[in-house]
Structure 1
Amino acid sequence: MRTIILLALCGTLAACAARSTVKLSDPQATKLTAHSGQVCMLRSPLPANVKHKVLGNINSSKQTYGSVNELLPLMAADARAIGADTLINLNTGQKMGMWAWARPVGTGVAVKVEDQGFSCASAGGELR
């Protein structure tokens, strides 16, 4: 009986952890190589003159209370895993949930910037 209660408790706690998912724009497209570099987190779209390729959408959330800062490293890791170097239209906030009045959520579009002259800092982004 203790084992069952312990497993149920562990399962409940694991479900409360922050998580992030990726939905690829074109699952049939050639996959880019994952990298370990920094990802530019940009709350706005890229400037119109910056060439880029959209790779997918990233959604992140936590089922319990917490800060959106818990989600940003997960979102950056997902972007790296699909070969993206920039996350645009980053939107984070708190949302009402089943287990919390205010749980952190985040969305963004993962892109690969093809313009070598692009500067994350100049565009108002933050490197993660």
Structure 2
Amino acid sequence: MSLNMVTLVGRAGRDPEIRYFESGTVKCSLTLAVNRLRRKGEEDKPDWFDLEIWGKTAEIAGEYVKKGSLIGVSGSLAFSRWTDKVTKEAKERPVIKVDRLELLGSRRDGGADSSPDEEDF
């Protein structure tokens, strides 16, 4: 049995970048900062994740998610691979392919314009 499932809750690190393709497909890219539980006295640095969202969910993210919005996502871990044009070196970076997006912020905290559990995509 194999399982590749990721669930994260954090704040958007920047406004989403939306791309529309000639085929009609929509892609949304953004970063997510997730705080990790730290021991007393340790510096509180977030872990950063690159998110990739497609289709209707990407359109919703583009409309409602802003930098600092509290969101929850679930999906799978994948790796984006490419060859550096200058050094010809093979490169890769982890990416979370989002299947589900939850807008967790409220109007009060400047996040998405919905109350918790009101929006679930």
Question: Do both share a fold (TM > 0.5)?
Answer: no
**Which of structures 1 and 2 has the larger relative contact order (alpha carbons within 8 angstroms, sep 6+)?**
1
Give the TM-score of the pair, scaled to structure 1.
0.25
More helix by share: 1
More strand by share: 2
